[in-house]
Structure 1
């Protein structure tokens, strides 16, 4: 299916005869599809194909504005995910302004590399990401427990009543073991939910890197490792 879509897109772009530019593609989109809002139209490495954003989703547009593909563009020579790079550049925040005191801190190795994770204990993709994060070395992970699901609210709050919130979170997200403490205590859950909304994270898991780049989704460890290496000082 992917090969067929690419073939259609490339055939359409070649049929135009003249290479467009980003402003012309934007103009054609407005004329042909006035109800379709695609922002930040720009050229890509693939001739005749332009990238853009529909909210926080990357899409690709043919230069005649007749075709759209949603998915990842991979550069074959080095297997680099160019779509992911676009998203990293598009969504940014100020790492220094994150209230790290509201996160559960986990240090592995020398802990020099830093990443913040917004996670819900009942989110299946969060559980998948947790497995991938466990494969990273020399990293400090700040987990902002983000109880988006109603059933996540109570156990998420109770995590912070345990002697070791880090261990309690590990048991909850990885093994489904509920916190044992029955007492109430101060917790950052409401602040974390507000922070996630302010950052406009589309859902969980959400990722924020030390350079301020943000992603949403359960990325494999090797991709996370590559991002952390790219942003290393």
Structure 2
């Protein structure tokens, strides 16, 4: 499927020409218009790589298109710093996108375990109530909070829509706000919770957001700077990564 998709992209780009009275960004959009129903274009901007334009698709994927529209690159762009270090420019752009996307989520749609005392950092976690390492991380929630770290949970039922985990997570997110923390912790310990449903459950929209951000498994940690870190991390190591002194 991926191969077919990029074949179509290539055909669209080969038909692209920049006219004198048309901006390059508009022309690139025009060249890719045949794909709009499948992968709508979110943005076209100058890339940080000379001579290329960055096209962001609704899927979160990025294409790098040349000015003539005759070639494109799918992948990551790196810059060599003066000290010889490599900086992943594509990932830096994704970090900014993740920060903006998380900022748009209503606080009431998250299950938040606040820091104890001064809040020194916060962490967003895409989680599944059944996965082993998600449960292991949550067992350390008190240690994490005691270090001044606020944890904001978002739903990511790995088995997808209609799964048992989806139903359990719906029951948590549809409960009264005052009960959500307790139900969440109970489900994380493997205990049964009352079955609930509601029309405004954010569970599957959060699942879709996680996929767009590049989440493929749980737990998936998103740091304050937008960095996506897959997998479990002990409380002490997590604090160190967030720059919080033990």
Q: Tell me if the contact between 2:174 and 2:197 (Cα under 8 Å) persists in the aligned partners.
A: yes
Specify whether residues 130 and 100 from structure 1 end up closer, same or farther in structure 2 by C-alpha distance, changes over 3 A only: farther
State the distance in 2 between where 1:183 and 1:203 align. Answer: 25
Match for residue 153 of structure 2? Answer: 143
Structure 1 outlier segments of 4+, above 4 Å: 38-43, 50-53, 88-91
Q: 1:162 aligns with which of 158, 175, 180?
A: 175
Alpha-carbon deviation of 1:206? Answer: 0.5
Alpha-carbon deviation of 1:184? Answer: 3.6
Specify whether residues 180 and 194 from structure 1 end up closer, same or farther in structure 2 by C-alpha distance, changes over 3 A only: same
Aligned residues: 157
State the distance in 1 between where 2:222 and 2:209 align. Answer: 12
Q: Tell me if the contact between 1:119 and 1:204 (Cα under 8 Å) persists in the aligned partners.
A: yes
Match for residue 201 of structure 1? Answer: 215
Tell me the alpha carbon deviations over residues 143-177 of structure 1, each in whole angstroms, 9 at most, x when there is no partner: 0011122220111101123231121111111x212
Alpha-carbon deviation of 1:113? Answer: 1.3
Q: Tell me if the contact between 1:39 and 1:52 (Cα under 8 Å) persists in the aligned partners.
A: no
Q: Tell me if the contact between 1:100 and 1:142 (Cα under 8 Å) persists in the aligned partners.
A: no
Specify whether residues 210 and 182 from structure 1 end up closer, same or farther in structure 2 by C-alpha distance, changes over 3 A only: closer
Specify whether residues 105 and 148 from structure 1 end up closer, same or farther in structure 2 by C-alpha distance, changes over 3 A only: same
The DSSP-based 3-state class of the residue aligned with 1:197 is helix
Specify whether residues 91 and 204 from structure 1 end up closer, same or farther in structure 2 by C-alpha distance, changes over 3 A only: farther
Q: Tell me if the contact between 1:172 and 1:179 (Cα under 8 Å) persists in the aligned partners.
A: yes
1:106 and 2:110 matched: no
State the distance in 2 between where 1:127 and 1:165 align. Answer: 16
1:213 and 2:221 matched: no
Normalised TM-score (structure 2) = 0.54
Q: Tell me if the contact between 2:125 and 2:219 (Cα under 8 Å) persists in the aligned partners.
A: yes
Q: Tell me if the contact between 1:158 and 1:185 (Cα under 8 Å) persists in the aligned partners.
A: no
Unaligned runs of 5+ in 2: 1-74
State the distance in 2 between where 1:198 and 1:39 align. Answer: 16
State the distance in 1 between where 2:232 and 2:197 align. Answer: 33
Q: Over the residues paired in the alignment, what is the CA RMSD in angstroms?
A: 3.3
Q: Tell me if the contact between 1:160 and 1:185 (Cα under 8 Å) persists in the aligned partners.
A: no
Q: Tell me if the contact between 2:113 and 2:152 (Cα under 8 Å) persists in the aligned partners.
A: yes
State the distance in 2 between where 1:94 and 1:182 align. Answer: 30
Normalised TM-score (structure 1) = 0.57
